[in-house]
Amino acid sequence: MWDRHPVNLSLLHMLPDVADHQGVALMPLLERAGIGADLEPGRRVARAQIATLLEDFSRRTGSPGIGLDLAAGADPLRLGPSGQALLGGRTLRECLHAHTHHMPSLQGGVHIAFRESDGRACWHHAFADSDAGHAAVLNEGVAGFVVAALRAVTGEGGGDLHVQLPHRARMPARDYEDTLGAGVSFGNGIGITVSFDAAWLDRPNAMFGTVPPPTEDRATSSLAWDMRDDRALIETLDLIIAAAAMAGRLSLIDSALCLGLSPRSLQRQLAQLGTTFEVQVDAWRRRQARRHLADRALPVMSIGRMLGYRDPAHFVRAFRRWEGDSPARWREAMLARNGN
């Protein structure tokens, strides 16, 4: 699944604080996902990038339940109209419908549905074009966030809640149940389902009057993560290449997945710009090689590994093609010219 639907980075507003609490350096993970240092709300990236980032974050923290920790740190009011709507209706029914209406201001490609039957209400949330395994941390974060909102709006601390997640359990089921205060089941379906007592839907909002009404987001209708923007595609791809090279995972398939594109789509878009993935990798490696060789303290072999070369000879051969000389001799000549 190539999930390139747009996501507003306000979705990650809690991530820096959680990363700091966990003692995890966030910058390398942001670069690996092609997002970079700018987490400014309003900026949009592909949901595949968010999923990649959160999966890497989970591995780095060693916490399979990190999605629930992120949900616990979320502030709906920092999500713009969608978050404000979720808490601002007169009843839970109004809150959920308004939240759905404003969802495009937060992210695209989300399908939300309600069902009432036999005294139960079921809220279903699914990401279009998303792989459940790749988006597991994000799905769990959404589930935790929604359960917390249901409790806040209804004032119901307990109650008969059940959460169904579309992927296999990442930790013991009891840990999910203790954290969410709800029954939890797992499967291979599409999306999250939260079921609860249908009588909750028309209860007065326990928070009514405490949340400012949602405002219309003028950007909603034009929400787009547009990889037809030539500069955006190349800059994002360079970030992904840099992180992937350091991790030894430099490939067209992985880079396309991170961008939410199929490999063929990425190749096609690059072809329209008169380039290829291989050309972009080669150009990035050449720029970085020249930059790193200016630092005498970095061994040539280390630079080769930083550029994603498994065999130092391959780096030397590539550098001769670029500059007509070996990295070591080029470095000495360059430093001599600069008086170092």
Residue 50, both tokens: 């968010």
**Above pLDDT 70, what percent of the chain?**
93
For 274, the token pair is 């008169």
Is pLDDT above 90 for 35? yes
pLDDT band per the 50, 70, 90 thresholds, residue 218: very low
Q: State phi, psi for 106 to the nearest 5 degrees.
A: -100, -45
Three-state DSSP at 126 gives strand
User: Which CATH number among 3.30.470.20, 3.10.450.50, 3.90.1520.10, 3.90.1150.10 corresponds to the domain 6-206?
Assistant: 3.90.1520.10
Do 6-206 and 230-337 agree at the fold level? Answer: no
| Average pLDDT for the chain | 88
Of 21-35, 197-211, 270-284, 298-312, the one with minimum mean pLDDT is 197-211
Higher-confidence residue: 14 or 102? 14
Statement: the pTM of the whole predicted model exceeds 0.85: no
pLDDT at 223: 42
Output the DSSP codes for 43-66.
-EEEHHHHHHHHHHHHHHHT-TTH
Of 169-173, 180-184, 212-216, 268-272, the least confident: 212-216
Backbone angles phi, psi at 151, to 5 degrees: -70, -40
Confidence of residue 208 (pLDDT cuts 50, 70, 90): low
Distance separating alpha carbons of residues 286 and 270, to the nearest angstrom: 19
**The pLDDT value given to residue 257:** 83
Taking alpha carbons only, the member of 79, 114, 100 closest to residue 7 is 79
Of the two residues 208 and 204, the one the predictor is more confident about is 204
Note every long-range contact of 157-164, with CB atoms under 8 Å and residues 24 or more positions apart, other chains counting: 159/196, 159/197, 159/200, 160/196, 160/197, 161/194, 161/195, 161/196, 162/194, 162/195, 162/196, 163/192, 163/193, 163/194, 164/189, 164/192, 164/193, 164/194, 164/195
State the Cα angle at 218 between 49 and 148, rounded to 5°.
Answer: 55
- pLDDT for residue 215: 46
Most confident option among 33-42, 149-158, 214-223, 321-330 = 321-330
Name the least confident of 234-243, 285-294, 312-321.
Answer: 234-243
Tell me, what's the pLDDT at 258?
Answer: 82
| Topology of the domain comprising 230-337 | Arc Repressor Mutant, subunit A (1.10.10)
pLDDT > 90? residue 211: no
Instruction: Using a pLDDT cut of 90, give the percent of the chain over it.
Output: 62
Q: Is residue 257 helix, strand or coil?
A: helix
- pLDDT value at residue 195: 97
- Give 41's pLDDT tier (boundaries 50, 70, 90): confident
In the chain, what are the domain boundaries?
Answer: 6-206, 230-337
Highest-confidence segment of 57-71, 178-192, 238-252:
57-71
Say which residue, 310 or 24, is predicted with more confidence. 24
Q: What is the pLDDT of residue 226?
A: 54
